[in-house]
Structures are given as structure tokens and as C-alpha cells.
Copies of this chain bind each other. A is one copy, B any other.
Amino acid sequence: MFKVIGLDADDTLWENEIFYRRGRKLFNHLLSSYPVDVDVETFVHNLEIQNLDTYGYGAAGFVLSLIEAADALTKSRFSSKDTVRLIDHLKVMLSTKVQLLEGASGLVATLAEMHRLVLITKGDLRHQRLKVDDSGLAGYFERVEIVSEKSPDVYSRIIADCGIDPGDFLMVGNSLRSDILPVLEIDAWAIYVPNELTWSHETLEDLPLHEPRFAEAATLNDVPGLVEALEAQDE
């Protein structure tokens, strides 16, 4: 039996990327009033990745990158009013109520019956904390770990804080880059639950299908069965 199960939050338990998509849509709409002669999507994507080191993950850095991109793409003609519309969208993102994904609430309740649970999420500290509180699920988790990067070292530290070995830890999440690969790297276990709205930065081409400590769930409802299957395999 796994002693602790870690769960990712954004786009695993609740909607997240959808609010970024809306921000990009607003951005494209605002930009359509200006003459722009380069590929907007590529330009914005590259700037976002470039700024990740400075801003980290989260809505504020995303919108700051959009504002910076708007200046560059419009040759400094982007209006102050349009900038404020992007800031207003950020405020909406930061204050929007959590929208749980289908099956999330039931999954957490089911897993909590037999396992200690830890929520492990990356991004803005305050925003993530508000979402955890708003989700109504906080009571199921013995720890909530909000981290700036999900590296093997970070997972090792969390697992040590739980007082267990990596072999007794399972992670569930929608990002191969953040929830699956670093966990497998330290010889813990992982279940991947794909979400169609995962940000391209978090996706990878190949699934680690050769890994015996890995499984893929089609939906959140399939996770408890896969947990049992992996536990049986571990015996």
C-alpha cells in the first residue's frame, strides 16, 4: 500500500488553463486593432518561456508577459486603456471561484479513506492558497505544498517531510513534466491523468510507458482502480 498519495491541483482537480486561454483570446482581440506583422502566438510563447525564470509560474507573470508582448508587437502603440483591460483580466483570474473538474471531489474523498494525502501545486503562493481554501477539499489533505518548481529535489524533500520512502509515494497529475517524470526519477510512483487543456510547456512527446511504476488514467474516476493495480504490482 502507498503510504502517501500526492495530488496536483491545476488542471488535475480544477480548471486552470481555461483562464489562460481566455486571456490569450482577449489579447488577440485587443491586438486586432493594431497593425502587427509577426506571428503573435509564437512571439508570446517565446516571451513567456523567456520570462519564466524571472516571474515563475502563475497568472501575474502571464499577464505581465502579455503587456510586454503588446508593446513590442505594436511598436509601442498599445494603449494604456488596453493594458488595463489585460490587468482587469488578471484580477478576474485571481478572484475566480474554483471550478472542480468532473470526479475531482469524489476522487479525493475516495483516496482519503485509505491513504494520507498531500496536495502539491506550483505557482503563485497566495492564489494557490485561495484556490485550495475555495475548493472545499483542503480538509482531506494532511499537507498543502505550494512550490515554485516541481523538481526531483522538491519531491524528495516533501516525501522526507512526510516521514516515508519514495517507494511508498504515488503522485497523480496532468503534467508529464511536473507531476510524472520527476517523481519516477526518484523511484516513486505516478499516475498520469491527461487534460486536453494542458499548457504546451507542460506536455512532452513520449509517455514513459516502459516504466513499471507508471500508469495512465483516462479519467479521474479511473484513478482509484489504478492505485489498487499498482499496489498489487508492488507486493
Chain B residues whose CB sits within 8 angstroms of the CB of A78 once the complex forms: 80, 83
Contact with B along A144-188 (1 / 0, CB 8 A): 001111000000000000000000000000000000000000000
Partner of A87, one of B56, B67, B87, B95: B67
Indicate which residue in B54, B76, B90, B94 contacts A80 across the interface (CB closer than 8 Å): B76
A76 proximity list for chain B (CB < 8 A): 79-81, 84
- Consensus secondary structure, chain A interface: helix
A contact residues, total (Cβ < 8 Å): 34
Partner of A124, one of B79, B83, B125: B125
A95 to chain B, nearest CB (A): 6
Interchain nearest-CB distance for A125 vs B (Å): 4
Check if A101 is an interface residue, CB within 8 A of chain B: no
Whether A107 sits at the interface, judged by CB under 8 Å, is no
Contact code string A59-99 (vs B, CB < 8 Å = 1, else 0) = 01101100110110010111111011001001100110000
